[in-house]
Amino acid sequence: MSLKIGDIAPDFTLKNTQGEDVTLNDYRGKKVLILFYPLAFSGVCTKELCSTRDNLKIYNSLNAEVLGISIDSFFVQKAFKEANNLNFMLLSDFNKEVSEKYDVLYDEFFGMNKVAKRSAFLIDEEGVIQYAEVLEDASNQPDFDQIQTTLADLG
């Protein structure tokens, strides 16, 4: 069942690039933009996350934290973060539990089973989803203009 605006964002705990546990509930009281992406080091994912890096000041000015999530191991996430100078947290959903909770898994993606779809979820300070976009075509990117407008409207 797809998550939609108004739903409570499912809590999770995932490893960051240092192998430390990060829990969504730790961000209660803050706005959080979760970006699921298929695979580190792939072309569109690199473009998306580097664009997010370059625009992080916009999210910071709107008091939002950004979390990038893929099914890659936290070792791969660490290399990807370092290679691209990413200035926000990446999390490993290697066991695909969070991607399942958020209903963002492809059954098959270029011969690989259960890869995260490119998706964006904006969660408010109370843990309520205020923006949800799940893209079926991995070559597309989330509507960052609409995400930023929604963030600004949240105040």
Q: What does the pLDDT look like over 58-88, one tens digit per residue? A: 999 999 999 999 999 999 999 999 999 999 9
Domain of 34: which CATH number?
3.40.30.10
Domain membership of residue 1 (yes or no) is no
Q: For residue range 110-127, what is the model confidence (pLDDT) as tens digits?
A: 887 899 999 999 999 999
Q: Three-state DSSP class for 46?
A: helix
Domain membership of residue 130 (yes or no) is yes
Catalytic positions = 45
Q: Are 80 and 86 in contact (CB under 8 A)?
A: yes
CA 93 to chain centroid: 11
CA 74 to chain centroid: 14
pTM assigned to the model: 0.94
Q: Given phi > 0 = left and psi -120 to 50 = alpha, else beta, which region is 85? A: left
DSSP assignment of 52-90 equals: HHHTHHHHHHTTEEEEEEESS-HHHHHHHHHHTT--SEE
Domain membership of residue 7 (yes or no) is no
Domain membership of residue 76 (yes or no) is yes
Tell me the residue length of the chain: 155
Segments forming the whole domain that contains residue 63: 13-154
* pLDDT value, residue 1: 59
CA distances to 44, 89, 137 from 47, rounded to whole Å, are 5, 16, 15
Domain membership of residue 4 (yes or no) is no
